[in-house]
Amino acid sequence: MKVVLQNLTKIFPSRSKKSGEEVVAVSNFNFEIPDGKLIGLLGPSGCGKSTTLYMISGLQKPTSGKIFFGDDDVTNLSTENRGIGLVFQNYALYPHMTVKQNILFPLQNLKGEDKLSKEAMLERAYEAARLVQIEELMDRKPSELSGGQQQRVAIARALVKMPRVLLLDEPLSNLDARLRLQTREEIRRIQKETKITTVFVTHDQEEAMSISDMIVVMKLGVVQQIGEPQEVYDSPANLFVAKFLGTPPINVFEGKVQGEKLFIGEAAVLDVPGVSDQEVHVGIRPEGFTLDDNGPLKCKLSNVEVMGRDVSIVSTHDHSENPIIRSIINADQRVNVASDVVSYSLKPHKVFLFSKDTEERIFFEVK
């Protein structure tokens, strides 16, 4: 089932009449979510992710704009009639019911022609339990389960009605690091197996990058960029997106373009054909540096961290916008730790320029 968001906008009125402005939680969101894909909706807290999800679910009504499931306009349809499965950060299981009863619950409320026989309900419940691998826990109470298991039950409960669209709002936030990794792999597997169109909300870029077919990066209610994770990482549309994606984060320098050459301080560090003279923000991915004694970018060496396969070099520079610069190089390369200075040349496809005024990307030709 494809899901189409058309000029989707949500404005919350100001809380007090006297002061305060209205909040534009989501502004003019347009996107056609392809059938059967997992979409990661990504951005910092307060950027409008949950509000978008609630509008898709019907829990909140858009101020303007439309939502389609396939060709059906569902904008004014109630949540119950949309055929969605919802999973929240807190598992919200019924504590007095067993796992089986929790999973069966949505089916017991089906009315009319959707009503199922007892056998059919049980079959569906066990099918959902099998998908999330909790069949052996069916007779336990939620309090007898780990956080990860509880979240699986919540997912099974969302799947049991065979939803047209699965909506997950920060489903892993309450889990510890190891379970978070494991459960996100599970969600990916379940989504691939069921092929249900899924929107996965998270503020964690690594999480979104690792499981999504496509990511949508939002800031202050406005979509910044939509694309495959690698595509967005390799070609960020603006400084915000460049900074939001990647661990370690991108390094940002103050730079200046003059005569189609990029300067950081006095050093000409890269040819940037086609870019007019101006001041810029220069983003350099940690993997964009090559150790090179004759390299133009000279940084003050602070520390070298060996991480097995890679080496992470920490340095500083007067024109760095971050307190430290972190580069990642192959462990085969040797750093002269006795030296105060580390010299780099740059990989052009790992260097991004952004307008000083608008912070939008300025493209140059990479030879």
Binding site for ligand ADP (CB under 6 A): 12, 23, 25, 43, 45-51
Query: In this chain, which stretch among 49-57, 216-224, 284-292, 356-364 interacts with Mg ion, using CB under 5 A?
Result: 49-57
94 binds, among Mg ion, ligand ADP, none (CB under 5 to 8 A by kind): none
Cβ distance to ligand ADP smaller for residue 12 or 363? 12
CA distances to 270, 284, 294, 311, 328 from 333, rounded to whole Å, are: 22, 19, 15, 8, 11
Which run of H or E residues covers position 3? Answer: strand 3-12
**Nearest CB to ligand ADP, comparing residues 137 and 232:** 232
Among ligand ADP, Mg ion, none, partner that 298 touches (CB below 5 to 8 angstroms by kind): none
Name the residue nearer to ligand ADP (CB basis): 50 or 225. Answer: 50
191 is in the binding site of which of Mg ion, ligand ADP, none (Cβ under 5 to 8 A by kind)? none
Tell me how far, at minimum, the Cβ of 166 lies from ligand ADP, in Å: 17
Give the range of 48-56, 140-148, 239-247, 291-299 binding Mg ion by CB under 5 A: 48-56
51 binds, among Mg ion, ligand ADP, none (CB under 5 to 8 A by kind): ligand ADP
Cβ count near 278 (within 10 Å): 14
Report d(CA 81, CA 271) in Å as an integer.
57
Q: How far is the CB of 225 from ligand ADP (least distance, A)?
A: 16
Q: Helix or strand or coil: residue 166?
A: strand
How big is the CA angle at 259 (ends 258 and 261), to the nearest 5 degrees? 70
Q: Closest approach of Cβ 5 to Mg ion, in Å?
A: 17
User: What strands, in cross-sheet order, belong to the sheet with 325-330?
Assistant: 289-291, 341-346, 297-307, 310-316, 325-330
Total residues interacting with Mg ion, rule: CB under 5 A = 1
- Could you tell me the smallest distance in angstroms from the CB atom of residue 244 to ligand ADP? 13
**Cβ at position 170, least distance to ligand ADP in Å:** 8
CB atoms within 10 A of CB 3: 24
Q: Which of 133, 107, 132 is nearest to 122 (CA)?
A: 107
Give me 261's structure tokens.
């050459």
In the block, residue with structure tokens 């392809």: 34
Among 26, 39, 40, 50, binds Mg ion (CB under 5 A): 50
- 47 CB contacts (<8 Å, ≥6 apart)? 218, 219, 220, 221
Which one of Mg ion, ligand ADP, none is in contact with 47 (Cβ closer than 5 to 8 A by kind)? ligand ADP
For the bound state, the minimum distance from the C-beta of residue 96 to Mg ion, rounded and expressed in Å, comes to 28
Q: Which is nearer to Mg ion, 50 or 150 (CB)?
A: 50
The smaller minimum CB distance to ligand ADP, of residues 89 and 320, is found at 89
- Give me the least distance between CB of 46 and Mg ion, in Å please: 8
| Helix axes of 147-159 and 177-194: crossing angle, nearest 10 degrees | 20
Q: How far is the CB of 222 from ligand ADP (least distance, A)?
A: 11
H helix or E strand, kind and range, residue 215: strand 214-219
Residue 320 engages Mg ion in binding (rule: CB under 5 A): no
Measured CA to CA in angstroms, residue 21 lies from 12, 13, 29, 48, 82 at distances of 9, 7, 21, 16, 32
> Does residue 286 have a cis peptide bond before it, meaning omega lies within 30 degrees of 0?
no
* 41 versus 131: smaller Cβ distance to Mg ion: 41
Instruction: Pick what 58 binds: ligand ADP, Mg ion, none; C-beta below 5 to 8 Å, kind-dependent.
Output: none
| Binding footprint of Mg ion on the chain (CB under 5 A) | 50
